[in-house]
Chain A
């Protein structure tokens, strides 16, 4: 009997132990370990209190049960006991508040940072701007749609992978200035013990000093709409030399894409390229078929904008529409991508306006 029970229990416990980490992560920064230790301290205090309270309760119920012939005592006031069980929790609370406040003060100390990065939440992607370098890019989910739709086998970083990760140097104090372009998001990387809301119109600060190079992953943790679960965070922590090389590469790539924008492209090429851009940047709201979602996101097929004057169409893609979910894509996409997607929207998705626009025209 007991053997069977142990076996049955182990069925639940053993695989769980192998695959899961139940406790909070210790993380890779001094601060994250401090937070972990604080968490464990308070956890053990709770365990002791829980065992004591439930112990007394279960003992009383078991020892004084009716079937044993227990007869209730009739006293029902005792000031000494009540004072003790009011004062003791008060003392425990104060003693927990002292280390908690010390950690909190440390978390809020964003002074003397080596690298400043502005993190901006968008529906549904993150933008990283390096304030002291000329680096500015968007970080989109890179998990293929087929994995999300269960057509393809999911890889081990399913929904935790992006096209361009944030890159920071190891052992440097990096300050994040966190804000948002539309709704409230929250930037969370468990290994850094950083979770800070990105609020439109406000800038929140946070910081990290990572001790080990590596790739660390996180997610948006404030419900921000339909694709809230599809805007992960990936941070690549590089050694100082690798980081310097990466910064130089970013600047070189910027020159290359500037060259690409000055060329002329065939309309068919623009449409073909535009479809890919559309599916990555627009289909989240306007849907892959261009029908949108009535009541929430307008259709592109047969819309007044996508079949009207091309300059007006381009303008709304570049600058967005204030007061709606339509973002400004001027900063998000290259001139080539912008020209391609506008051309595609006018000549695909059931539209056939017939005109097109070149990257060089977008740049003006």
Chain B
């Protein structure tokens, strides 16, 4: 293979600026550096992974033998619910956003993310979302105990009072994800180095671009469904209350219209990572790059039309 010599434009030493990052906590609080923010996302994700993991240990320790061993059934349900929510929204999703913050600018030759200050915000609202969510465990009646899929009416009429804090927490997480996704799309579409055409993008960048579109499409749906819950609980509506003319199954349709693409939000960036690692260690270019790009895009589109497979026992009609 012929070696290619690239003439990089001479970068002038920028000695006239000696600001540097702020010192102490301010360095992390005010940072707009994509690597700093990426690191914070990754550390946050690790902390959440540990907290969610400890809840999993409580669950498994309780189930180690039959009979009530360590915790009450009500608290057990809070553990399963919080474990699911924390792992999905606190561990997996921020881990991938952190990796995207680190790698996307490097892989496309951009100096930073397109919207660095929004980047700072989209990270810094996350810890507060999870503080609100976790604090509900210490409220009267306990935290969310209705499973991470929070099916109505268990999560509305029959929920503990703290459900309102859960809803607020989900709203903030959703806002964070949407901001992160907008930033990634803006970066990939506008800030590629000269010559970095779309079909030359590394696959991790491609998978994240498609994931970001999925996020923008479905996070508002999640925000919508928790807002409908909020309305049912506090403002006398009956979206999910059959006694008031509503439909509990409507909740599941809306939830899984978010929930199934969410599965791909959590797996597509991992596909991208695998597609980077295997060619590297196999010492050859990825087989079928363009088909891989089209396949990822097709999976993303298909993920919007197959949510009913989460609802086989709901009693959907056989035809139509």
Chain A residues at the B interface, C-beta cutoff of 8 Å = 66, 72-74, 76-78, 82, 104-105, 108, 123, 147-150, 154, 158-159, 178, 182-184, 186, 195-197, 199-202, 204-205, 221-230, 293-296, 322-325
Whole-angstrom CA separation of A296 from B283 in the bound complex: 60
**Inter-chain contacts of A323 with B (CB < 8 A):** 157
Does B307 reach chain A (CB closer than 8 Å)? Answer: no
Hey, which bits of chain B sit against chain A, CB under 8 A? 1, 66-69, 73-74, 77, 139-142, 145-147, 151, 153-154, 157-158, 160-162, 242-243, 247-249, 282-291, 313-315, 318
A324 partner residues in chain B, CB cutoff 8 A: 157-158
Q: A202-B242, A226-B74 are in contact. Are A197 and B284 (CB under 8 A)?
A: no
Q: Which residues of A contact B315 (CB under 8 A)?
A: 178, 196-197, 199, 202, 204-205
Query: How far in angstroms is the closest Cβ of chain B from A204?
Result: 4
State in angstroms the CA–CA spacing of A147 and B242 once bound together. Answer: 38
Contact in complex: B141, A224 (CB < 8 Å): no
Interface centre among A72, A224, A296, A324 (most CB of B within 10 A): A296
Q: How far is the CB of A252 from chain B (nearest CB, A)?
A: 36
Q: A108-B318, A202-B249 are in contact. Are A295 and B161 (CB under 8 A)?
A: yes
Check A72/B282 contact, CB under 8 A, given A108-B318, A154-B67, A294-B140. yes
A227: B residues at CB distance < 8 A? 73
Number of A-B pairs, beta carbon distance below 8 Å: 124
Residues in B whose Cβ lies below 8 Å from that of A230:
73
Give the residue name and chain of the A residue nearest to B69 (CB).
Answer: A150
On chain B, the residues within 8 Å of A72 by CB distance are 282-284
Contact A225 B67 (CB under 8 A): no
6 A-B contacts (beta carbon < 8 Å) = A76-B285, A182-B157, A183-B153, A183-B157, A293-B74, A325-B158
Residues on B with C-beta less than 8 A from A154 are: 66-67
A82 to B145, CA, bound (A): 47
Asked whether, in the complex, the Cβ of B73 is within 8 Å of the Cβ of A182, the reply is no
For A205, the chain B residues whose CB sits under 8 A away are 315
Which 7 residue pairs of A and B lie closest in terms of their CB atoms, listed nearest first? A201-B242, A295-B141, A295-B140, A72-B284, A204-B315, A296-B141, A183-B154
**Which of A82, A295, A322 has a CB less than 8 Å from the CB of B243?**
A322
Q: Which residue of A lies closest to B65 (CB)?
A: A150
Which residue of chain B has its CB nearest to the CB of A105? B318
